[in-house]
Amino acid sequence: MKMVSVVTVTIIQLLTISSAIFGTRGTTISEIDRLITNLTTGYNKNIRPPDNNTETLTVNCTFFLMSIIDYNDISGVLSITGGVMMTWIDPRLTWNPSDFSNIDHVVLKRSLIWTPDLYIINPANDLESIADDTYLARFFHNGLVTLGMGDNIKILCPSDMAYFPFDLQSCPIRTSAWGYFGHEVTLNPHVRTMDLTYFIKNNIWDVDSTSAEEFSLGTEYTGMISFTVNLRRKPLYFTISMMAPIFLLAMLNPFIFLLPVESGERISFGVTIFLSFAVFMTLLSDSLPKSSTPMPTICFFLFAAVTYSGMIVIVMMLILRLYQQDPEEKSPEMAEQTSLHPQLQLFKMP
């Protein structure tokens, strides 16, 4: 997991640095140093843009989903690798390119300028920013600033197992510019989906769809973004290893009546199927969360199958008891009832 985090940081920083290298090709280090000194002198990174502090700063965000590390549907925790590319306008970071050897953009450490602290507000662990001061910001001569940052992210995502193993899980990643009200800094999705350019496929889950939309937690806490990823389970494994055997066992149950009574195998056959259902019920309970809202449909089917199998075993015990009973022990009333119910003759051997 640590290696994945390093790869994520490397990719995001390479994206940030690459265009800056080409944009400053042909210029001297002294010119770049003079430009950075000119921009940072007197710059207070504790004050947010714009110049008129009563105006709302809009930060456009794009989420890059890189991999699904794990989704624990029992604990409801989704672990992903991803990053956010943010852009905004800072009027204090502007210059005339002709005054600095036509340099139109440069790269600075995030710690040297004002940047928003992006927080995941539905974390599975501690509430903390997904960025640190080692990330690099790229800014242009017109005041446009871009900052890419990413990490291994764990969020709470309660599972909906109603249609297991054909379930679809919707997991929102809710972000906020921590410390600012909605009228001060607002987050805006640059596009209405996640960027899957660098996504690596998962063996268990497919990304069915993604979305990005604004949301709020009240009148003051507005301008937040919810990046949602919808995961669809690949059902082949559970279909072959669990569902198919359960359905086959359910189909075998009625065939118990085809066995001759003299063989003595009816009871053992029925008990074997009943115990097989019990084993699958144990395996299924280990694969599902201990929740009743909603209850997986397959659990209702398995419960019905176990009940049906148990009733068949009880019926077979009664049939064998009647079959092996000495005719002299039968009461006249029982003999009369047997003659009045032709259905019972079906279980009588010739």
Q: In this predicted model, what pLDDT tens digit does every residue of 85-104 receive, in sequence order? A: 999 999 999 999 999 989 99
Q: Which of 5-19, 35-49, 198-212 has the highest mean pLDDT?
A: 198-212
Comparing 32-36, 223-227, 285-289, the range with the smallest average pLDDT is 285-289
Short-list 232, 212, 228, CA closest to 61: 212
Burial class from Cβ neighbours inside 10 Å (0-12, 13-18, 19+) for residue 192 reads: exposed
Strand order in the sheet with 142-156: 105-109, 136-140, 142-156, 77-94, 57-72, 185-189
- Identify the residue with better confidence: 17 or 135: 135
DSSP calls for 222-276: --EEEEEEEEEE--HHHIIIIIHHHHHHHHHGGGGGGS-GGG--HHHHHHHHHHH
Q: Is the pLDDT of residue 15 over 60?
A: no
Share of the chain above pLDDT 90, in %: 48
Domains in the chain, CATH or no CATH each: 2-234 (2.70.170.10), 237-347 (1.20.58.390)
Query: Is the confidence at residue 232, as pLDDT, over 80?
Result: yes
pLDDT at 123 over 60: yes
Which of these, 88, 94, 102, lies nearest to 32 by C-alpha position? Answer: 102
Q: What's residue 27's pLDDT?
A: 61
- Average pLDDT along the chain: 84
Identify which of 17-21, 143-147, 254-258, 268-272 has the greatest average pLDDT: 143-147
Instruction: Output the pLDDT for position 21.
Output: 44
Tell me the HSE value of 63 on the side-chain side, using a 13 A CA sphere. 29
Residue 290, pLDDT > 90, answer no
Whole-number pLDDT of residue 342? 52
164-223: pLDDT as tens digits: 999 999 999 999 988 888 889 999 999 999 999 999 999 999 999 999 999 887 766 667
Residue 327 banded pLDDT, cuts 50, 70, 90: low
* Cα 114 from chain centroid (whole Å): 32
The predicted structure's pLDDT at residue 220: 67
Q: Which residue has the higher pLDDT, 301 or 1?
A: 301
Point out the least confidently predicted range of 26-40, 249-263, 333-347.
333-347
> Of 177, 216, 176, 172, which is closest to residue 194 (Cα–Cα)?
172
